[in-house]
Structure 1
Amino acid sequence: MVFVTKYRHKVFTDAHLKRTEEIMRDVCEDFECELIELNGENSHVHLLVNFPPKVALSKLVNSLKGISSRRLRQEYPELVRRYWRAQRLWSGSYFAGSVGGAPLSIVKQYIEQQNRPV
């Protein structure tokens, strides 16, 4: 999955991405999913998530984006004033692709190689 920040603003530092990963791992656990890898750049994140067929992708995405947006805005109020309009962190859209046939190691390597901000 790929989530992009609202208006493609350059929001994230390494510290923000670390906290985002912690939050999203907790959400995945609540859905009985496994967050295999998360990395990103200053305006988006890539997630590799293993989830069972009983989990609706739209509900998982809604929770991942909603909870992470709310918690990050609470924990980093300086970012709210500078970057986030309309009290939203994420763009309304997302990308989700299936990698059932591709080796997970290749997808994981691609995510790990994102140009993570300092």
Structure 2
Amino acid sequence: MSNDNDVRHGRHCVFLMHVHLVFVTKYRREVFTHEILDDLCAIFASVCADFEAELVEFDGEDDHVHLRVNYPPKVAVSALVNSLKGVSSRMIRKKNHPSLRKKLWRGALWSPSYFAGSCGGAPMEIIRHYIEQQQTPY
């Protein structure tokens, strides 16, 4: 996990893009333990690396998780989310955590919905003001 101000460089671009993701368990079941959250953190970091993204922060409670991911512009957030949820569900079920089998119906770990919010950088009001102050040529 790196410094928040690490501007990344691509071949033809310079970027610093972060997304805040929230995933909720199916039916809001309270299934996560400290051990499962540790496993999820490692799985999410691995999936992010496959997308050339970086898991900057991760934490959760017994029925949901929060991630902050630094990702390149070539990655669609929906594709990243799909992979994060699919791979983590499959890998966690493979580990056979007893608490999961009892509380999850038909093995589905995640609710099909998710929250994604852009984060980092200047507040929208400052960006709006900056754009308005540009010297438009006559």
TM-score (ref. length: structure 1):
0.82
Contact 1:5/1:91 (<8 A) preserved: yes
Q: 1:52 maps to what in 2? A: 72
Q: 2:42 maps to what in 1? A: 22
Contact 2:101/2:107 (<8 A) preserved: no
Q: 1:12 maps to what in 2? A: 32
Higher RCO structure, 1 or 2 (CA under 8 Å, sep 6+): 1
Q: Is residue 2:85 matched to residue 1:65?
A: yes
- Partner SS, residue 53 of structure 1: coil
Q: For residues 64 and 110 of structure 2, what CA distance do their matches in structure 1 show?
A: 9
Q: For residues 102 and 72 of structure 1, what CA distance do their matches in structure 2 show?
A: 37
Aligned length: 103
Q: For residues 90 and 81 of structure 1, what CA distance do their matches in structure 2 show?
A: 14
User: Unpaired runs of 5+ in structure 2?
Assistant: 1-20, 124-138
Change (3 A) 1:14 1:56: same
Contact 1:38/1:48 (<8 A) preserved: yes
Q: For residues 90 and 99 of structure 2, what CA distance do their matches in structure 1 show?
A: 12
Choose the corresponding residue for 2:109, options 89, 103, 106.
89
Contact 2:56/2:69 (<8 A) preserved: yes
* Deviation beyond 2 Å, 4+ runs, structure 1: 100-103
CA drift at 1:95: 0.2
Q: For residues 102 and 36 of structure 1, what CA distance do their matches in structure 2 show?
A: 18
RMSD (CA atoms): 1.4
Q: Which has the larger radius of gyration?
A: 2
What percentage of aligned pairs have identical amino acids?
57
- Partner SS, residue 117 of structure 2: coil
Q: 1:38 maps to what in 2? A: 58
One-letter amino acid matched to 1:36 = V
User: Unpaired runs of 5+ in structure 1?
Assistant: 104-118
Q: Which has the higher helix share?
A: 1
Q: Which has the higher strand share?
A: 2
